[in-house]
Amino acid sequence: MSNQERFFERLTALFIVLPCLCLFVGWLKWPFALLVCGILVMSVNWDLKETPGAIPERPFDLSTSLLLWFFLIAFVMVWLSGIGGRGVQYWDYFKHNAVLNDLINHSWPVRYPGPDQKSLFLVHSLPYYLIPALVGKMGGWKMANGCALFLGVIGLWLTFIWFALLVEKRTHWLPIFFMAAGGLDFLGRFMLSGQFPALSGDSQWWGVPWQYSANSTLLFYVPHHALSGWLLTGFLLHRKMKEGVIRNGLFWCMLGFCWSPFVCLGLLPFVILSHWGYPLRKAATLQNVVSAPVIFLIMAAFYSSRNISDPHGWIWYGQSGVLRLLYHYVVFILLEVGVYVILLSPDVFRKKDGLQMAWRISFGVLALLPLYHFGEWNDLVMRASIPSLFILWVMVARTLFSDAPAYHLKPILLVCCLGAMTAFAHIADGVKTASRFHFYTVMAPMDLSQMPEGKIYMGKGDSYFFTHLARSVE
């Protein structure tokens, strides 16, 4: 691994770990906070100092000009996405802004008045918001949003870098392809309704109970899931490609659990099966055996304190039109995943770089995820698919930017252009909003407890986490 690749590993680790430290310090009683933070810092330090072995070095450094181009595209996309109050803010930002506002204006853990004089607490995927919230406590709301913009740019820039390192192509088109990548949503809506929909960022809901979000949709709606999912997938798969195994994968997966339980769930199959054919002792590291279970137990107690339960079950339960549901499922898988898999170059599958297992797992995960429903909006499918979709786009990019014959490249280029229509709609919305306002267009924040859907993000004050592990709030 080259010095440049090691630098990006350290920067990614800092991006993921620092907000987790803020979470533990801000939410746990000081003895638990000291213990967990000490274990976490020691584990990350040892992880980054380890000397990988097995597969010979294959340095693939990116030029300075290419890195600056990646940064420029990341800045433009984050500016248009609504992060930090610039560009367009879709309806998810009512919640994003409320969470950030409450983290700024309340002590941690954030407490709300509940029924019968019982307290409720903010329970959500919080690391994404914590650094901007700290800045906001010192400098106010606008400073917090400026920090969120900066961190969003850094996170997306690192995503582009990991994507390029996995594709192993030095081309200025890579970040553009990544942000344009998506399924054939407009074609799917036409097949199910008989009408082409208007060009809209909401086109991904095309009449079936699932959504595999385009990359632009993830950035514009749920950056807290997207950035952690993309970065951890790229970071860990790069280790698999360079070292033959995902070193300390369970530990990094549990840090992903802090950011997003769904992303963690989507990463687990790759982490577990990456050790296939390797001695089990390779996985028995301090990070995996000690640190990972500690983080998991604390975060499981935190998330399980939620005040409501999510609807869940197999998709065929309670369905009268099973054949129609099956038809929807087949169309969904074909247009979101299958058409790309069919058009992939055979050379991509024959490449011996340690990722063969990864793409097989990703196709299996994407085929199976829709069979189980979890959450009011089926968040399991939309968010646990992020790592697998990231790998799919790596494979598509390897084909698209390969030396395959033109007759092979033209069909997949056409499909990619059709899949980019959702991204085009998002960017058009962002440009229209940015041109209508001069600099600062953020929605006015409100208290989460005053929002109708705010109860989804609250936890019980009498739960095990808040009675035994969490700091007391005056």
pLDDT tens for residues 73-104?
999 999 999 998 878 888 888 899 999 999 99
**pLDDT (0 to 100) of residue 464:** 95
| C-alpha distances in Å from residue 286, one per residue of 14, 247, 251, 281 | 19, 11, 9, 11
Residue ranges of alpha helices (H) inside 274-378 are 286, 292-303, 322-333, 339-343, 346-350, 356-368
Under 8 Å between Cβ of 230 and 159: yes
Helix (H, G, I), strand (E, B) or coil at 331: helix
* CB atoms closer than 10 angstroms to residue 181: 23
The residue type at 137: K
For residues 446 and 239, what is the distance between their CA atoms, to the nearest angstrom? 42
pTM score = 0.94
**pLDDT (0 to 100) of residue 441:** 47
Residues of the chain with pLDDT under 50: 438-441
Helix (H, G, I), strand (E, B) or coil at 17: helix
For residues 144 and 146, what is the distance between their CA atoms, to the nearest angstrom? 5
Helix (H, G, I), strand (E, B) or coil at 28: strand
Which residues are CB-neighbours of 99 under 8 A, at least 6 positions away? 122, 124, 126, 129, 448, 457
* CA 433 from centroid of its chain's CA atoms: 25
Burial track 374-410 (b if 16+ CB lie within 10 A, e otherwise) = beeebbbbbbbbbbbbbbbbbbbbbbbbbebeeebbe
What is the chain's alpha carbon radius of gyration, rounded to the nearest angstrom?
Answer: 22
Q: What is the pLDDT of residues 427-448, one digit of tens each?
A: 888 888 776 554 444 555 677 8
| C-alpha distances in Å from residue 313, one per residue of 56, 189, 435 | 46, 25, 44
Report the DSSP beta bridge partners of residue 460. 120
- The secondary structure of residue 318, as a DSSP letter, is T
Angle between the 185-193 and 406-419 helix axes, to the nearest 10 degrees? Answer: 70
**pLDDT (0 to 100) of residue 375:** 83
DSSP secondary structure, 395-420, as one string = HHHHHHTS---HHHHHHHHHHHHHHT
For residues 317 and 232, what is the distance between their CA atoms, to the nearest angstrom? 34
Cα end-to-end distance, the chain, whole Å: 49
**pLDDT (0 to 100) of residue 209:** 77
Which residues are CB-neighbours of 324 under 8 A, at least 6 positions away? none
